Amino acid sequence: MSNLEDVAKAAGVSRSTVSRVMNNEGYVSAATRARVLEAVEQLHYIPNHAARTLVTQRSNVIGVVMPSANVFFGDNSYFPMLLQGIAEAANPRDISMILWLGQANEDPEHFSQRITRNRLCDGLIIASIGYDDPLIPRLVDNVPYFVMVERPVQFHDRISYVTCDNVKGGQMATEHLIRNGRKRIAHITGRLDLADGQDRLVGYRTALERAGMAYDPDLVVEGQFSYESGYYAMKNLLAQNFDAVFIPSDTAARGAIRALEEAKLRIPDDVAIVGFDDLEDAARTNPALTTIRQPVQQKGAAALTLLLDLIDGKVENPYQVILPLQLVIRQSCGANLSQPMQNQGGVASNR
């Protein structure tokens, strides 16, 4: 492997000049620059990342931390989409991305050690799902710069994060069902130890309140975001009398639909459904899901931008970014049946 010195010799200049060319620093004549670039080409010179990092104290590598359970969280395209979003913001800035995945059954202490005993990254993005991961206090103490995706339940006043307006999302979903004449609207909640689950429930209650509708605790079943959870929560709900349900993820909605099918209930005629996420699953249910779209890629991109701004001192910790959500109307809510929308059927891809 050639180094700066080799290139300098080949171009008949000094190491410093080659460095200036490589870093586009100016103060190099056009002729010299050309000669240097030619030598670089000829020798296949590539700057040594370690040497650069050593002197600049900046690696241009950021870490993405993902506890094991979260990788397979809810709709499985969540995690890839988030990474894609981070990458799209990182690439143009020449930032590389180290991935820290938790292992199944790995001690949080061990996991955090792996991450912190390794000053390899300039900062971290914690792709948490918003719960009180035991990792968080450890990171607060040991990592100078980090950003969370999703709001943690605790520490949220000391931590920088990016999240969506989940209260508003729950409200939008519920209001849409109200607008369409549903009278007994149920809610399968998300995990209530997570900020997301809590907030969406608050949104649901807010919508009912604003419409002057009574809050009936029997119509609220605590669930999670998974397919299985949706299935069993709906089984429980079937004892009640209801004509609509707001479900905290599209994947859970798939499970719930399965339970409704088994109970011979028709969607949306007997039960209208609004889901949440609008990732892979939403357009593939039968009928296609009305849902609240989460801008997952934007979340990733925003997290990266925020992290770099923190590192560069452009913003001060804690700094929070809250992204808007969007109602996507398809068939499961019973609205707009007269004017079906294009490309929102059950089979077309939603990407």
Sign of the alpha-carbon dihedral angle for 212, 215, 219, 224: positive
Residue 28: name its binding partner from DNA, a second copy, none (Cβ under 5 to 8 Å by kind): DNA
Partner from a second copy, DNA, none contacting 45, C-beta within 5 to 8 A by type: DNA
Residues 145-204 that bind a second copy (CB under 8 A): none
How far apart, in Å, do the first and last CA atoms of the chain sit? 43
Residue 13, token pair as written in the block: 């200049």
Question: Do residues 48 and 266 lie in contact, with contact meaning Cβ atoms separated by under 8 Å?
Answer: no
Q: Quick check: 24 binds DNA (CB under 7 A)?
A: no
Residues 33-92 that bind DNA (CB under 7 A): 45-48, 51-52, 54-57
**Binders in 201-220 for a second copy, by CB under 8 A:** none
- Least distance from DNA to the Cβ atom of residue 41, Å: 15
* Residue 120 binds DNA, judged by CB under 7 A: no
At 93, which amino acid appears? R
93: Cβ contacts below 8 Å, ≥ 6 apart: 60, 308
Percent helix, strand, coil in the chain, to 5, is 45, 15, 40
> Sign (positive/negative) of CA torsion 311, 312, 318, 323?
negative
Of positions 9, 10, 24, 28, contacts DNA by CB under 7 A: 28
Span of 28-36, 70-78, 165-173, 328-336 interacting with DNA by CB under 7 A: 28-36
What is each CA distance from 174 to 313, 327, 349, in whole angstroms? 41, 11, 26
Residues found near a second copy in the complex (CB under 8 A): 1, 46, 48-54, 59, 61, 64, 68, 71-72, 75-77, 79-80, 83-84, 87-88, 91, 96-101, 103, 114, 116-120, 226-228, 231-232, 254-255, 258, 261, 280, 284, 286, 346-349, 351
